[in-house]
Structure 1
């Protein structure tokens, strides 16, 4: 996660605010300021915990462990981008769910839908798709992408002969439309 380092003269509150806009990483604020208002402001700006000096190393370690436990137990937030029609992409498990039921994609089909979902509304040529899918030698007559698209359409399109999610743009490539028939 690239983000700029704090500017000179900025404080922990500014850093917390900036970090929270870009990540859900657990934040434990350590500060010499221990007044209630300081703790409240720190927590409201996005810190998960606040520890005022002086503190013991044992308390610091216990709070860090608690933060990490909560972070690991929290389910990953589902991005709206990962949902289309009745489908939801579960990136952690590398599967596509339709109304909470696994669609049963092969690894190659999963890789393709992930690439398409990450680039909605953009026409992707076969060459671009092959580059994004990595590791495939190609020749000018390679139909690997077309076969993957056809197999994926059979699994996700209501009518594969008239696709609404993965559309063909004649002479160019494929376009993923998460809105389906509405878009």
Structure 2
């Protein structure tokens, strides 16, 4: 039974020892925790439980985490953090493209995971409070109440992470936002100089809003300074 007032986290992981350790750790931090030990079970639990956040392993037998993430996005809009022991960049790209909001490598450091969890939950809380619509040159519109993005009156389907990046930069329209500032705002932790997730998220976002051919018209990259959402 779920307790009122506590955030609910679902962990989808086939390694029972990792499940046990994360369960104990997150409960000591005041979270409610549910566990799923396979992709098929995890997908069913995401749809049924609608947790506040999902921690999802990629490498699982049967249905892997990429497929779970992709299918769950049909009904689940909460944040998803994906875990993997694989160091290949293509796995990270696939995770973000299918709707993941964060990506962490194993061996997992619980306090780093906790920082990402708290940042994503804060981000969701801020989004719910915002009820203004932002627009760009009459072609790109961001409805922050509905979390809806359109260009030329056509809806653009974004992942949660892509939407948050677009909204954040749009709010700073006309101001250069440094890479460190953007990383801190979107992930809640300081940029370590190595994480490529922000670059891949921006690349994917530009493709979806049809601003992926230089010179960029909506989100510009200012060399050695950061990003600029063009104000017009």
TM-score, with length taken from structure 1 = 0.50
More strand by share: 2
Larger of the two Rg values belongs to structure: 1
